[in-house]
Chains A and B, each alone.
Chain A
Amino acid sequence: AQKVTQAQTEISVVEKEDVTLDCVYETRDTTYYLFWYKQPPSGELVFLIRRNSFDEQNEISGRYSWNFQKSTSSFNFTITASQVVDSAVYFCALSEAQGVDSNYQLIWGAGTKLIIKP
């Protein structure tokens, strides 16, 4: 069975601190995709990253970085030098690619609410 676990319900840090959001997944497939989305108070989901199961390289995009570890089935997200604008709910999701007919259905984590205090 597929499952995504975001054990941290809520994290609160002071601005400029680094913060890591955890994501652990379960899947039997060898080919899959992992995603992170940001959902600010407006509600609109903002795509942050997609990573396929064959690419274990860590990714850095500005203050954001992602650590993909297949050995521990984790795909953690770190924000460096956090800012108030980073306050949002962050979702991790898993999609199991099943060939050309796949509709890439997403399995969602429960989300982590990140509060950045000024």
Chain B
Amino acid sequence: GAVVSQHPSRVICKSGTSVKIECRSLDFQATTMFWYRQFPKQSLMLMATSNEGSKATYEQGVEKDKFLINHASLTLSTLTVTSAHPEDSSFYICSAHGLAGSISYNEQFFGPGTRLTVL
């Protein structure tokens, strides 16, 4: 149980385009989803936390107009990188925390990540 998928796994786009990354919890209800960004040889950096049906909470320094997060259902959150530029190239990872029936998972489950390259 507790599987999180991410799509696409890899995307290459031209500068100025927008890219949407989907994060799905496959067998549990993700009441909270997290979006991370990871630069080469660095640790994970939390970008934002989103709870289903409410606006995401962004970490300091993360542009909310640049990185649009939607958590419209208990199984899906999307991250849209708007007007992407080469400096947005990174590895983006989502994770989810939530419920399977009456069981509360007291940890985060991670998606496989999306590698974004902006040319």
Q: At the interface, is chain B mostly helix, strand, loop or mixed?
A: strand
CB distance from A93 to the nearest CB of B (A): 9
Contact of A43 among B97, B108, B109, B113 (CB under 8 A): B113
Q: Is the CB of B107 within 8 A of A103?
A: no
With the chains together, A89 CA to B93 CA distance in Å?
A: 15
Interface Cβ pair total, 8 Å cutoff: 51
A64 CB within 8 Å of chain B: no
Q: At the interface, is chain A mostly helix, strand, loop or mixed?
A: loop
> Which A residues are in CB contact (< 8 Å) with B38?
43
Contact residues on B (Cβ < 8 Å of other chain), bracket: 20 to 34
B43 CB within 8 Å of chain A: yes
Could you give, for residues 84-118 of chain A, a 1 whenever the CB lies within 8 Å of some chain B CB and a 0 otherwise?
A: 00000001000101001011111011110100000
> Which B residues are in CB contact (< 8 Å) with A47?
107, 109-110
CB distance from B6 to the nearest CB of A (A): 9
With the chains together, A110 CA to B34 CA distance in Å?
A: 18
Looking at A37, A45, A100, the one whose CB has the most chain B CB atoms below 10 A away is A45
> Which B residues are in CB contact (< 8 Å) with A106?
44, 46, 108
Q: Is the CB of A108 within 8 A of B104?
A: no
User: Which B residues lie at the A interface, using CB under 8 A?
Assistant: 32, 34, 38, 41-44, 46, 49, 51, 91, 93, 97, 104, 106-110, 112-113, 115
